[in-house]
Chain A
Amino acid sequence: MLTLTCPYCGVKAEETELAPGGEAHLKRSGPGSSDEEFESYLFARKNPKGVHFERWRHSYGCGKWFLAARCTATLEVFGTYPAQTPAPTPDILAAIKAKRPEWEGYE
């Protein structure tokens, strides 16, 4: 059972307080997008073994959505950050690089 720190209320939350929301930083494709773009947005997920950016909601806490960078293999958490960003922040990228120098980077 994971623990993740909610960046809004600062609580180190047990997984039972949280609701998962899948991959973070998806770019929405609405009307006018191509079939390929829409398929990619709705269905194609990276599912990496390693560094992953994902959405969590502090459902039984402050109710806020936040984002987490986590290793899917070892469950190491590199950091959590507010959801209101279209891409990983420089801080979070630096935190990952410090722990995983071999990581190829975001996209």
Chain B
Amino acid sequence: MSTRLSRGGRLIDRSKPMNFTFNGKRLRGFAGDTLASALLGADQMLVGRSFKYHRPRGIVASGVEEPNALLGLGRGARFEPDQRATTTELFEGADTASQNHWPSLDFDVGVVNNWAYRFLPAGFYYKTFMFPRVAWKHLFEPVIRRSAGLGRAPVDRDGDRYEQAYAFCDVLVAGGGVAGLAAALQAARAGKRVMVLEQTPHWGGRAPVDGGTIDGKPVADWIKSAVQDLERMSNVTLRNRCMVAGVHDHGHVIGYERVADHTPGDGRPRHRLWRIRAGEIISATGAIERPLAFAGNDVPGVMLASAVRDYVVNFAVSPGDRTVIVTNNDDAYRTAFALIDAGLIVAAIVDARPSATGDLVQKARARGIRVLEGRGIAKVKGTKRVTGVQICAQAGEGAALEDIACDCVAMSGGWSPVVHLWSHCGGKLIWDEARACFRPDATRPPTGDQGQPMVRAVGAANGALTLPEVLADAGGPAADAPAEGPIAAVWVMPQGAPDALRFKAFLDYQNDVKVSDVQLAAREGYTSVEHTKRYTTLGMATDQGKLSNINGLAVLSDALGQPIPATGTTTFRPPYEPISFGAIAGEARGEIFQPLRRTPMHDWHASQGAHWEPVGLWRRPYCYLRTGEGLQDAVRREIRNTRNAVGLLDASTLGKILVKGPDAGRFLDMMYTNMMSTLPVGKCRYGLMCNENGFLMDDGVVVRLSEDSWLCHTTSGGADRIHAHMEDWLQCEWWDWKVYTANLTEQFAQVAVVGPNARKLLEKLGGMDVSKEALPFMTWAEGTLGGVRARVFRISFSGELSYEIAVPASEGMAFWTRFLEAGADLGVMPYGTEALHVMRAEKGFIMIGDETDGTVIPQDLGLGWAISKKKADYIGKRAQERSHMASPDRWQLVGLETLDGSVLPDGVHAAAPGHNANGQRNVQGRVTSTYFSPTLNKGIAMGLVHRGPARMGEVLDFPVGADKVVQARIVDPVFYDKEGEKGNV
């Protein structure tokens, strides 16, 4: 049993009991508990089932390295899966549940996998993918989906809020243990701006549990005074519950602060993501104890030796009445003393070393603890809980020497420095033979923007594993602790364990990877540690192999017959521990996920039933819905009204870039395929813009405002991109040309007045002569229209008589209202983007993004007329001279008319005879725009077809489903008013 002891517990407050539930069972813990210590205190050792074999699993560790105790926490909008019980603080009313079992934690049918060890070996998934597809689909996947996976995803919208903050410092100390505190004091006393981030709620790390003296004081006293000193200094910021998740380029550090995980619903943000720019980063992240690989090392009750003493000392929790300690080093002996001091029984210390003689070993013997030298554990007995261990000779093959009854096994395979932060930006490691660990190589640190060392590791994170070494390494005062004897590099127990034992000796608990899996991978030819990792999934679970990686690569090295440093480690990547998506998103969700750009008439559209269409960061009315109308009804009404009376379009989103200067004409001749320098003042010209690769990237009407200035209209949403494109060429290629550009998009509201009554409407507003004679097609005039300063452009995107009128943005709404009032008896009605699109398609006008996709040149679209033959150069000209661009063998723009009048699905391909190398039908074209035309009362489409314009009248097959083919005839893309009489009035 695991129980709460009647005395002790340095981190709990017995005066504040807290209620919580586990799988619906009501349990009790104390303020200061973690979920793990509270569960253990309530005798709940079994907390989950393993990922692959569904073996019962218990709590193994006491910190971030815990692989098993992942729980679902909370309900509804506060439900979160995969919360690590060892790092989650208990709070009143915590609602926890185990994961990955079916139907219940105690009885799980998935445990059948347990019998199938030999059928789920390393590389199971890869091997299974090689099976016939049908076997995967019907046999493996349903079973795996049912039984595998960690917690379930939340269903409700997250009920918490999150925030992000920025900070800057000279020295950032990651880790508030004794090494971090000592390093912080040193930097702070030198006048540096220091930030100290500690992932737990407590300062001092594990030193108070392990004991010793610093500066002649017990460690706890020294920690207290060090924290007080730091708190008093104005150049120091201390933050606990704040983990350094990652070290990134140029001293950029991500901190993850769990502000209110332990006080849910108190109104504070749950998590805060810190983006810190640090001059230097001190990695004082400590070390993590390694398990040992012996058969049954995953049975609930087998724990890390350090975790056992953490639970006893910090939380007054006894993981078991009778403990066997198994170790290859002296440090684990501290666990024996902690247990005995708490009145518990240590049945034996099983030491794999042939001879153990350190101070702690002597002390254990002196206290009458049974120490077995040169011994190992052959196997653990028990399934849901340890009942005993079988002892064998470490040097042998597992022959049982004796059985020892126990309900807890405390194991220690030595310590691995937490080198993650050192490694994130490329710091290199060396193998320390004496300490049997990888530690930072100070001669090859990660470097910053000036090539300077960016991270310094101190204390246990640097391989200094004893208290005196830690303080010396961190620049702190002298410390004292018992001298420790050398560790033995033991990874597997016993050394010659046969298959039967290796099949049950786990390396990675969370992903169920065993010693036998890594050995099998080596036999199958996996020699790279990175490949072995992916093949076996070792270290790929949510704990990222914090317990398993070093043991795994030691086993791999042994199987490959090479030293550990020759095998090397896998790559350490941020984040150090999983961080919440909420923290990453911060405040950017819902309405402020991204900025919304509004035209001056935006609110009016909303009040008139606008159905919105996102266009870049703008939102434009797709159509205006009237009571009882569907989208299609509204679009057709708007089109008919525009073609028969007069429609209003809010065209304010069109990009408007002013290009001005003595060299502006010359510059625009390079930007556009057409000649813009010769455009007379007062005239408009439709222009095409290509990129240097020759492909069409934007189009729009260019207006000559004056001798030295042009106004370039771009597509809606394209203004920023095109403005940047212009600036790029001006600044980086033709920097001596005298040209200025300004993006005026938001300075003007623009209204398109379209339809046979358009001129009458403008005349009703009055103030400008907009007659055919005074303002012919493709000209513009400036004046006062309806009392508002306006530029009137006689241009059309619908084929109708049409004016686009720009007025200052501040007067846009008033101007719009004036049209509505004046036009009531002319049938004025607003229309949206869908009506705009249908009307332009009826006229065969192309749309950037529909007819173009970054692989289309203007020549493909019948726009050769807009490409100047006279110009020596323009952006894209050279590219268009390439043989395959000039070839007639391209897909080119045509109209498509279905034989049955139906509307072709968007994007469908025209079939061609034969099949390609992948067994797919060959294709000879595709649909780029397709609509129902209310004007023509039938489906119309545009598409790109191989040599299309030369194939007028030909009928193509468009497969639109499994067995359905729609036939369409190649026609002229101009479906409506081919002669252009409508607009020429």
Contact = CB atoms under 8 A, between A and B. Distances in A.
A76 to B, nearest CB: 4
B728 A31 contact: no
A15 B426 CA distance: 19
Nearest to A76: B451
Contacts of B448: 76
Chain A interface residue count: which class?
20 to 34
B367 interface: no
B732 A38 contact: no
A42 interface: yes
A74 B447 CA distance: 7
Interface in A52-107: 55, 57, 59, 63-65, 71, 74-77, 83-84, 99
A50 interface: no
B727 A3 contact: no
Contact of B882 (A1, A19, A35, A57): A35
B976 to A, nearest CB: 38
A28 B877 CA distance: 12
B878 A1 contact: no
B252 interface: yes
Interface residues of B, number: 27
A78 B778 CA distance: 53
Contacts of A38: 878-879, 882
B249 A42 contact: no
A1 B250 CA distance: 7
A59 B767 CA distance: 42
A42 B731 contact: no
A35 B879 CA distance: 9
**Interface-central residue, B250, B693, B728, B735, by most chain A CB under 10 Å:** B250
Contacts of B249: 1-2, 15, 75
A76 B882 CA distance: 40
Contacts of B881: 31
A30 B728 contact: no
B450 interface: yes
Contacts of A77: 449-450
B878 A84 contact: no
B947 interface: no
A3 B449 CA distance: 8
Contacts of A75: 249-250, 447, 449
Interface in B877-893: 877-879, 881-882
B724 A76 contact: no
Given A64-B731, A65-B731, A65-B732, A31 B878 contact: yes
Contacts of A99: 451
B872 interface: yes
A25 B692 CA distance: 16
Contacts of A76: 447-451
A64 to B, nearest CB: 7
Contacts of B878: 29-33, 38
Nearest to B670: A30
Contacts of B731: 64-65, 83-84
A35 B885 CA distance: 13
B732 A31 contact: no
Nearest to A4: B449
B724 A42 contact: no
**Interface-central residue, A15, A21, A32, A65, by most chain B CB under 10 Å:** A65
Contacts of B447: 74-76
Contacts of A15: 249
Interface in B436-452: 447-451
B451 A30 contact: no
B692 A1 contact: no
B619 interface: no
Interface in B448-502: 448-451
**Interface-central residue, B249, B724, B731, by most chain A CB under 10 Å:** B731
Given A3-B449, A65-B732, A42 B693 contact: yes
B451 A74 contact: yes
B445 to A, nearest CB: 11
B872 A21 contact: no
Contacts of A28: 733
A14 to B, nearest CB: 8
B791 interface: no
A14 B252 CA distance: 10
Nearest to A74: B447
Contacts of B231: none
Contacts of B277: 3, 14
B693 A3 contact: no
Interface string B58-87: 000000000000000000000000000000
B782 interface: no
Nearest to B693: A42
Contact of A30 (B735, B873, B882): B873
A19 B725 CA distance: 12
B728 A65 contact: yes
A53 to B, nearest CB: 13
B248 interface: yes
A3 B250 contact: yes
22 contacts: A1-B249, A1-B250, A2-B249, A2-B250, A15-B249, A19-B724, A21-B728, A21-B732, A28-B733, A30-B878, A32-B878, A33-B878, A38-B879, A42-B693, A59-B724, A63-B727, A71-B451, A75-B449, A76-B448, A76-B450, A83-B732, A84-B732
Given A31-B881, A55-B732, 19 more contacts: A1-B248, A1-B252, A2-B250, A3-B252, A15-B249, A21-B732, A30-B877, A33-B878, A38-B878, A38-B882, A42-B692, A42-B693, A64-B731, A65-B727, A65-B731, A75-B249, A75-B447, A76-B448, A84-B735
Which 5 A-B residue pairings sit nearest by Cβ, starting from the closest? A76-B451, A84-B735, A65-B731, A1-B252, A30-B873
